Structure 1
Amino acid sequence: MSLPASDAYERYRGPEFRRLLGAARRSLERNGGEITGSIGLTNPTTEERNAIIGITGAYRSADVRRVSLPLAALDQNVRNVTGASLRDVLERTGPPLRFRADERSAIDQARQRLLAEGEASALHAENPWYKEWLSGLASDGTITGLINKKDERLLSQAIRVLEYIYARASGSPPVMLAALADATTGNTKALNPGQGSLPTLVLRALATARGVPLEAGAEARRELWDAFDVIVDDLASRVLVLNLPAAGRGLGEWLTDAARYGTPFHVTLHQLVTLPVTVHVPRVYVCENPAVLRRAAGELGASSSPLICAEGRPSTAFHRLARLIVNGGGRLLYHGDFDWPGIDMTNQLIGRYGAEPWKMSAEDYLEGLRTEDDHVVLSGKARSTSWDPRLSNAMQEHQAAVYEEGVADALLADWGDQL
């Protein structure tokens, strides 16, 4: 069939047909393209009313509040004028028709395919967190959103990234984020911030695996990658050290020289990976706040016990050095803030390295309350203190935090001359 003249279509671009064709479009999309039932207009304009009279041949008074007509009558009118069907005219004068039932069916089928792919991963059978992550993506509309954006491949890539992370042997060297992205997607930048939904999908899974919420911000995301030995920047990941001699060329020599002079030393993950060291120190203290280590350096110098500082949340460099100490036969004695994040960190270091809480008893907490005048109210989820259950009870009773720098005098008293 030859195409109708373009001016035949122009008739239906006028304002008198705009709402009428809109109603026709909704009807066809709802009914899979079937010409069935009636459509109508509420409070029609004079032009709209006259157009409907012209289509049906039936008079409608000027005061009518709603006019309707069979969809078949509109289709026949369109065919008489243009030689084409109503569907053809709608798609010629507007976007293609979207048949909702067909789209829903296609989306449901695509969703089932993606879920089946996710469930086929070995992670599904072995890790409850993975099931929770996949179920969450399905229930909150994330998978449907990927389908609508034609980004289904991103779920497949996220699964490959997670499988790669979990397939790495325990104790393996950390992997750079760019190398991880290249190995799993072929694009070194695919997991960088701002690269679409893939980084968020993976980080959401890692947060679920750790049992923590996915927080916004570059620092929180870096810490989450670090927790799985994925390094966003091996120069930015570092640990602060005081008086920790070590064996090994380069870094080992620097650490030993710094300990000789009682000088604080920042060790980067890059140094720990490229300049391997061994550490054979029987006892190493761990603090949370760098201000405390700074005081130890200034007041005790080379006579201070060996210290490493988490500087807030431990970095991958911290964890790598902590493993070296423990593997060399050393014990970690940890002190942190008496707040719920500090208690959570204590629990993590106990579980990961067998660290011993040091000056972290209920008595130490209560003494800190007595010596500090300005107290911050505790916030966040209460944590258990298995090494001293009274501590958690006391903190919940007093609802006040005691920060490490506020009890530094007591810490320094024990650190002096203990080598």
Structure 2
Amino acid sequence: MPEHPLNRPAYARLLASARRVVELHNGEVEGGASVPGPTEAERNAIQGLLGTAYSPGARTLRVPLAKLDAALRRSRNEGLVDVLEAVGPPLRRRRDEERERERLREEVLAPALNSPLTAHDWYRDWLGRTAKGTVTWLTNEKKTQRLARAVRILEHVTADDPPRLTRQDLAARTAGDTKALEPRTPLATLVLGALAERTGLPRSDSAEAARALWEAHGVINDDLSSRVLVLGLPAAGAGLGEWLTGAAALGVPFQVTLHQLVTLPITVTAPVVSVCENPAVLRTAAERLGAACPPLLCTEGWPAAAFHRLASAIRANGGRLRYHGDFDAAGVAMTRYAIARHAAEPWRMTAADYTSRVDDSFPELSGAAALGPTPWDPGLAEAMARHGRAVHEESVIDDLLRDLAGGPVPVLPGPEDARPSGRA
């Protein structure tokens, strides 16, 4: 097919300007085109096409599209739209495209806007942020069901008493695909952003943070890997209750799995149970306090579903939790969440506790921008931002053990004083 006669450099800028205007007017020949700073070749070509002379000093050639359309029909028996289609690419009807985008956007957003979760601040905040980027992308890509699936998952896992599910089972039930919630898949990323908003935990790409967010909402990898470390917590109940009671009498740490808590239910009557984040604290308590250590749990980082279930069992009989974590962004977030979910009392997590220990030798506070508020003591967030240093639990073990012991902590015998059992 021969090349169109107007597909030449001398007409290129005129036709490009005309195309933009015609597309904005949805294919209608309205408005005008312009060619700023025309070359001599452009000026001659446009004047010849229109039969109109422009002033030699004109810095911009302005061409009414109706006049251009009429000139083309006289000289070539084809209108402006025909010419633009012929020289390519095909014309876009931008008003039609915008209407279609708006329709798709409404289709993407409708399930989210009609969800009962809109009653919650965290959901509205998440949706407002999501709408700025993700919804626009989903609209442009015509992926109209992804947000609806994310909302179904959120409704499921934030119910008052959600069933305990593996991530694969949850994906199959809500998205029809067991692999839809695999790590870093688009759907999983979308849901985890909402769960982080709900819990106040920092958003992170780490596998540990993702596991914590899932398990905080009853979604587990498996019920054997979800566990909590326990010291000095006697309990009633066949099997697990007996094991915990025996371990407490011996002052021995005991790992409790979610599987055990579900299949061997226990009753806990301890009035106060302390919680720490780092296993070094619990191990030192076992070593120095032994069977005299009052009930102590360790989350070993982000709390798992096993911790949440045991915490619920403690509270079911009137028990109270007191929580201590690292003085860093994650530790503050976990303290905030423990207070919100389990009505935990902050344990040595005040500004005074922090400032009494911090100095320039401590590691820099990473993620300070995501520190978030410390509503139990607003001065803590201010002090941490001011010093810019993290204080980890290993640095305050002696303080925690004094609290657990209710006074001075026993001094461990030196190696020269140690004697094998049963020898004089």
TM-score, normalisation: structure 2: 0.74
User: Judging changes above 3 Å, is the alpha-carbon distance between structure 1 residues 285 and 17 closer, same or farther for their aligned structure 2 residues?
Assistant: same
Deviation of 1:353 (Å): 3.5
Deviation of 1:33 (Å): 1.4
For 1:409 and 1:211, locate their aligned partners in 2 and report how far apart those are by CA, in whole Å: 30
Residue 383 of structure 1 is matched in structure 2 by 374
Contact 1:177 1:231 in 2 (8 A): yes
Deviation of 1:29 (Å): 0.8
Q: Which runs of 5+ in 1 are unaligned?
A: 1-5
- The one of 301, 314, 318 equivalent to 1:325 is 314
Secondary structure of the structure 1 residue equivalent to 2:92 = coil
Residue 141 of structure 2 is matched in structure 1 by 149
User: Judging changes above 3 Å, is the alpha-carbon distance between structure 1 residues 232 and 397 closer, same or farther for their aligned structure 2 residues?
Assistant: closer
User: Judging changes above 3 Å, is the alpha-carbon distance between structure 1 residues 96 and 263 closer, same or farther for their aligned structure 2 residues?
Assistant: farther
Secondary structure of the structure 1 residue equivalent to 2:274 = strand
TM-score, normalisation: structure 1: 0.75
Secondary structure of the structure 1 residue equivalent to 2:356 = helix
Residue 349 of structure 1 is matched in structure 2 by 338
Secondary structure of the structure 1 residue equivalent to 2:230 = strand
1:58-207 superposed matches below 5 A: 58=52, 65-72=59-66, 74-75=68-69, 85-112=79-106, 114-124=108-118, 126-138=119-131, 140=132, 142-166=134-158, 168-170=159-161, 172-196=162-186, 198-207=187-196
Contact 2:209 2:302 in 1 (8 A): no
For 1:54 and 1:246, locate their aligned partners in 2 and report how far apart those are by CA, in whole Å: 98
Deviation of 1:150 (Å): 1.0
Residue 276 of structure 1 is matched in structure 2 by 264
1:32 has 2:26 as partner: yes
Moved more, 144-153 or 293-302: 293-302
User: Judging changes above 3 Å, is the alpha-carbon distance between structure 1 residues 335 and 163 closer, same or farther for their aligned structure 2 residues?
Assistant: closer
Q: Which runs of 5+ in 2 are unaligned?
A: 408-424
Deviation of 1:137 (Å): 4.2
For 1:362 and 1:75, locate their aligned partners in 2 and report how far apart those are by CA, in whole Å: 75
State the Cα deviation string for residues 197-252 of structure 1 (Å, max 9, x = none). x3344333333334566445443333333332233565554322334455667766
Contact 2:333 2:372 in 1 (8 A): no
State the Cα deviation string for residues 19-61 of structure 1 (Å, max 9, x = none). 2321121010122212234323223345434432442245669
Deviation of 1:309 (Å): 0.5
Secondary structure of the structure 1 residue equivalent to 2:5 = helix
User: Judging changes above 3 Å, is the alpha-carbon distance between structure 1 residues 212 and 64 closer, same or farther for their aligned structure 2 residues?
Assistant: same
Residue 214 of structure 2 is matched in structure 1 by 225
The aligned amino acid for 1:105 is: R
Moved more, 154-163 or 401-410: 401-410
Secondary structure of the structure 2 residue equivalent to 1:11 = coil
Deviation of 1:160 (Å): 1.9
Deviation of 1:79 (Å): 5.5
For 1:286 and 1:10, locate their aligned partners in 2 and report how far apart those are by CA, in whole Å: 79
Moved more, 330-339 or 26-35: 330-339
Contact 1:55 1:73 in 2 (8 A): no
Residue 3 of structure 1 is matched in structure 2 by none
Deviation of 1:186 (Å): 1.0
For 1:321 and 1:153, locate their aligned partners in 2 and report how far apart those are by CA, in whole Å: 37
Moved more, 76-85 or 281-290: 76-85
1:41 has 2:57 as partner: no
The aligned amino acid for 1:383 is: T
Deviation of 1:272 (Å): 4.0
For 1:384 and 1:109, locate their aligned partners in 2 and report how far apart those are by CA, in whole Å: 42
For the aligned residues, what is the CA RMSD? 4.3
Deviation of 1:179 (Å): 1.9
State the Cα deviation string for residues 115-159 of structure 1 (Å, max 9, x = none). 5543332233x3233334444444x35433322221222222222
- The one of 229, 243, 260 equivalent to 1:240 is 229
The aligned amino acid for 1:369 is: S
For 2:340 and 2:27, locate their aligned partners in 1 and report how far apart those are by CA, in whole Å: 62
User: Judging changes above 3 Å, is the alpha-carbon distance between structure 1 residues 234 and 54 closer, same or farther for their aligned structure 2 residues?
Assistant: farther
For 2:381 and 2:71, locate their aligned partners in 1 and report how far apart those are by CA, in whole Å: 81
Moved more, 341-350 or 21-30: 341-350
Contact 2:231 2:295 in 1 (8 A): yes
User: Judging changes above 3 Å, is the alpha-carbon distance between structure 1 residues 306 and 84 closer, same or farther for their aligned structure 2 residues?
Assistant: same
1:308 has 2:297 as partner: yes
Residue 278 of structure 2 is matched in structure 1 by 289
The aligned amino acid for 2:157 is: I
Q: How many residues align?
A: 401
Secondary structure of the structure 2 residue equivalent to 1:285 = strand
The aligned amino acid for 2:84 is: L
User: Judging changes above 3 Å, is the alpha-carbon distance between structure 1 residues 17 and 259 closer, same or farther for their aligned structure 2 residues?
Assistant: farther
Contact 1:337 1:403 in 2 (8 A): yes
The aligned amino acid for 1:158 is: A
1:209 has 2:198 as partner: yes
User: Judging changes above 3 Å, is the alpha-carbon distance between structure 1 residues 69 and 81 closer, same or farther for their aligned structure 2 residues?
Assistant: same
For 1:374 and 1:97, locate their aligned partners in 2 and report how far apart those are by CA, in whole Å: 66
User: Judging changes above 3 Å, is the alpha-carbon distance between structure 1 residues 257 and 46 closer, same or farther for their aligned structure 2 residues?
Assistant: farther
Residue 421 of structure 2 is matched in structure 1 by none
User: Judging changes above 3 Å, is the alpha-carbon distance between structure 1 residues 45 and 192 closer, same or farther for their aligned structure 2 residues?
Assistant: farther
